Structure 1
Amino acid sequence: MTPPVVAPAARTPSADHHPVLKEMSFLDRWLPLWILLAMGLGLLLGNLIPGLDHALESVTIANVSVPIAVGLLVMMYPVLAKVRYDETRRITADRRLMATSLLLNWIVGPALMFGLAWLFLADLPEYRTGLIIVGLARCIAMVLIWNDLACGDREAAAVLVAINSVFQVLAFGVLGWFYLQVLPAWLGLPTTSAEFSVGAIVLSVLVFLGIPLLAGFLTRTVGERAKGRDWYENRFLPKLGPWALYGLLFTIVLLFALQGQAIVESPLDVARIALPLLAYFVIMFLGSLLLARAVGLDYARATTVAFTASGNNFELAIAVAIGTFGVTSGQALAGVVGPLIEVPVLVALVYVSMWLGRRLFPNDPTVPGPVVSGSASEPTERDAAARP
């Protein structure tokens, strides 16, 4: 899942032929197990402790609980502290990368979720509307950790997430109007009236991306100026890195605790919502990876495109659904089921991306682990720099 942590001065291209899994840290190697345990713990807490969900929701930012916000910030800060911000200009100059990402995120993704919502939930308008809202909220948070675990291009991920944030503020309301009212009317389908709060969208972007992005940028800038890049990437980042996964597990426990009772009480509804979400994540990821390869991107950038196109901003989707339709609405439940399906599916796709990478991108030096031809691919300098 994550690439090996190596000492840059002591590694040669032929020095290691071990599979990636054998070279992972203990935490990384068993991450799917930790996530399953975190899910189980959250469900247990949500059903055994009366009023826990209300307590967690009692203090909110943009209708998202402060504990969840803290977990997300802890998760994102180490990843953004690893970004080499002085190298981001080369990302914006890659027109293939930018065009492919914008196409997938703002045209293909919302349209695919709209189609799947109507295909699977035509008889459940509240869940259908909630699912469409999830499709409009493009990922600006958790996608960073999936991309990092799969050895995607860290700088590209930071740039694409920032661009998604800008588009989110500008386009979310317009796309909501189009997919809930205009397009259904054109197709002769029932429409849904909804007014989205621009303030909630802006606040979500500022809190869940702005704070950790600023903290990561300042940490790298101050750290490199004070101690140099070698110390920062080989001494400081290895100590900071594991906190991203601690934050992820903490967030998962809270998410499942918040909706533990709803999941237990409405398993069939959750299953109905889960089916189109599962189809969405798999179709978007595999389709995005293949499209990125077709336009000539290497493994690292193709993986980044695939994860940024597949993930969704569930914080914003939940906030919009609660603020527009109410905390007990079907739309809010659909928004909450989003991350409950996204987390395990995208963790599995981390493994899939590296397995496919060695087959779709033979001899590509950005692919983690041994390539198809049998010769070990040398981790890039970026990959060697302090993975958790």
Structure 2
Amino acid sequence: MTPSRPATAPGVREPAGTVTGPVGRLSPTDRFLPLWIVAAMVLGLLLGRAVPGLDEVLSAIEVGGISVPIALGLLIMMYPVLAKVRYDRLGTVAGDRRLLVSSLVLNWLIGPAVMFALAWLLLPDLPEYRTGLIIVGLARCIAMVIIWNDLARGDREAAAVLVALNSLFQVVAFGLLGWFYLEVLPGLLGLERAGADFSTGRIVLNVLVFLGVPLLAGYLTRRTGEKARGRDWYETRFLPRVGPLALYGLLFTIVLLFALQGGKITSQPADVARIAVPLLAYFALMWAGSYALGRAVGLPYDRTATLAFTAAGNNFELAIAVAIGTFGVTSGQALAGVVGPLIEVPVLVALVYVSLWLRRRMTTEGSGRGG
């Protein structure tokens, strides 16, 4: 996904009334994403009050323990994201071993461990939300990161490659890491496990369905679309048409989640605030640590920014899908996933500004040394 319009060229003034800066380069849909999410939450709460038997209606048409309407919403939410990935460029990042190794370590070793630690430190008394956040930590970002990377003047091709690698790696690694962080590691540390209703096999199955199916569909769509009409048509005509489906699927899922969880949410509003705290800490720690690592290993600014944003973001779509499929649509685990994008969007927009400030500072310092 890319911003709807490019940055204004140096020396050219923005039209009167135009929103400038990184936020101004977001499409209206992406710029107001937190607002859409809040509106979907409110609509869901109102729907839950207006239709008391909604949970019974949804459970009457379910397959494999998950409601068919919600499953369709989740698949629609995932497909456009994976149709955007340039799968033919996976090999281009292999030449930059510093970027590749740093990204893999940050995404698949450090990121899940940081979220695990924060979830246990800040939510020791809320096991469902804690488990939901751990699942969020396992779902590495494959969507919005391209937007943040573009706004921060990161390396677009490197971001696309890392997104593709994360997409493929998640199919294999998500279930294994879920088993480790929810069952094995808590046992080793003498902590409470995820619970008797937890099933590693269920997580693997849901990853295969809600990531594997749209991943295959996205790959085949790009391959056949580019072969028939060319890459330019695919990326400038086709993707803008299917891209909004991701947001529609996300909002549809949020409406149903909040319709089913309305009673819990309205009776315990402080829980949402408590879920937000470890998420805020996670984004700050992962972005700052990743940026520092990129500079320490000698990456240029554009690839350092790419490394930082791909490590800090999370694939909330997948986390929500896995939480619903494994623990149920009314579970606290699913609610933790839903709160995620509400926090992520404003925080990462703020980090875009921080990144651009660091870029200007690096440029100024470089010019000073050169003079």
Give the corresponding residue for 2:156. none
1:147 to 145, 164, 183: 145
**CA shift at 1:86, angstroms?**
1.0
Work out the CA distance in 2 between the residues paired with 1:182 and 1:51: 42
Decide whether the 8 Å contact of 1:129 with 1:180 is kept in 2: no
CA distance in 2, matches of 1:27, 1:305: 24
CA distance in 2, matches of 1:219, 1:16: 38
Partner of 1:225: 227
> Do the aligned partners of residues 23 and 359 (structure 1) sit closer, same or farther apart at CA in structure 2, a change above 3 Å counting?
closer
The match for 1:239 among 238, 241, 252 is 241
Give CA deviations for 1:205-258 in whole Å, capped at 9, x if unaligned. Answer: 111111111111111111111111222222222222222222222222222222
Go from structure 1 to structure 2 and tell me whether the alpha carbon gap of 1:114 and 1:212 turns closer, same or farther (over 3 Å shift): closer
C-alpha separation between the residues in 1 aligned to 2:277 and 2:283?
A: 10
Asked if 1 retains the 8 angstrom alpha-carbon contact of 2:275 and 2:339, the reply is no
* Residue 175 of structure 1, CA deviation: 3.1
Q: 1:91 aligns with which of 81, 85, 93?
A: 93
**Partner Cα distance (1:16, 1:64) in 2:** 52
RMSD of equivalent CA atoms: 3.5
Change (3 A) 1:221 1:363: farther
Q: Is the 8 A contact 2:136 2:314 kept in 1?
A: no
The aligned counterpart of 1:71 is 73
Q: Which runs of 5+ in 1 are unaligned?
A: 365-370, 374-388
Query: Does the Cα contact within 8 Å between 1:81 and 1:216 map onto a contact in 2?
Result: yes
**Is the contact between residue 42 and residue 255 of structure 1 (CA under 8 Å) also seen in structure 2?**
yes
Q: 2:201 aligns with which of 199, 203, 206?
A: 199
CA contact (8 A) 1:85 1:155 kept: yes
Identify the residue that residue 30 of structure 1 maps to in structure 2.
Answer: 32
- The 8 Å contact of residues 56 and 67 in structure 1, kept in 2 or not, is answered as yes
1:94-143 residue CA offsets vs partner (Å, 9 max, x unmatched): 43334333333443334333433443344x2xx236514631554548x3
Contact 2:133–2:336 (CA under 8 A) maintained in structure 1? yes
| Structure 1 position 321, deviation (Å) | 3.9
Tell me the equivalent position of 2:184.
178
Alignment partners' CA distance in 1, 2:55 and 2:282: 28
The 2-side partners of 1:77 and 1:289 are apart by 30
Matches within 5 A, 1:249-328: 249-295=251-297, 296=299, 297-308=303-314, 313-322=319-328
Tell whether the 8 Å contact from 1:76 to 1:244 is kept in structure 2 after alignment.
yes
How far residue 12 of structure 1 moved from its aligned partner, in angstroms, is 10
CA contact (8 A) 2:131 2:194 kept: no
- Report what 2:165 is aligned to: 159
Letter in 2 for 1:356: V
Amino acid of the structure 1 residue aligned with 2:99: L
CA contact (8 A) 1:83 1:158 kept: yes
CA distance, structure 1, for counterparts of residue 230 and residue 361 of structure 2 = 32
The alpha carbon displacement at 1:62 in A equals 5.4
CA distance in 2 between counterparts of 1:265 and 1:47 reads 13
- How far residue 282 of structure 1 moved from its aligned partner, in angstroms, is 3.9
Are residues 244 and 194 of structure 1, via their aligned partners in 2, closer, same or farther at CA, if it must alter by over 3 Å?
A: same
Q: TM-score, normalised by structure 2?
A: 0.78
TM-score of the superposed pair, with normalisation by structure 1: 0.75
Post-superposition offset of 1:92: 4.5
Query: Matches of 1:242 and 1:348 in 2, distance apart?
Result: 20
Residue in structure 2 matched with residue 386 of structure 1 by the alignment: none
| Number of residues of Structure 1 aligned to a counterpart in Structure 2 | 347
User: Any idea what SS the aligned residue of 1:50 has?
Assistant: coil
Partners in 2 of 1:132 and 1:228 — Cα distance?
Answer: 44
Residues 1:134 and 2:136 aligned together: no
| Bigger Cα displacement from structure 2, 217-226 vs 110-119 | 110-119
CA distance in 2, matches of 1:213, 1:285: 26
- Relative to structure 1, is the Cα distance of residues 151 and 66 closer, same or farther in structure 2, using a 3 angstrom cutoff? farther
Unaligned runs of 5+ residues in structure 2 are 15-19, 151-158, 366-371
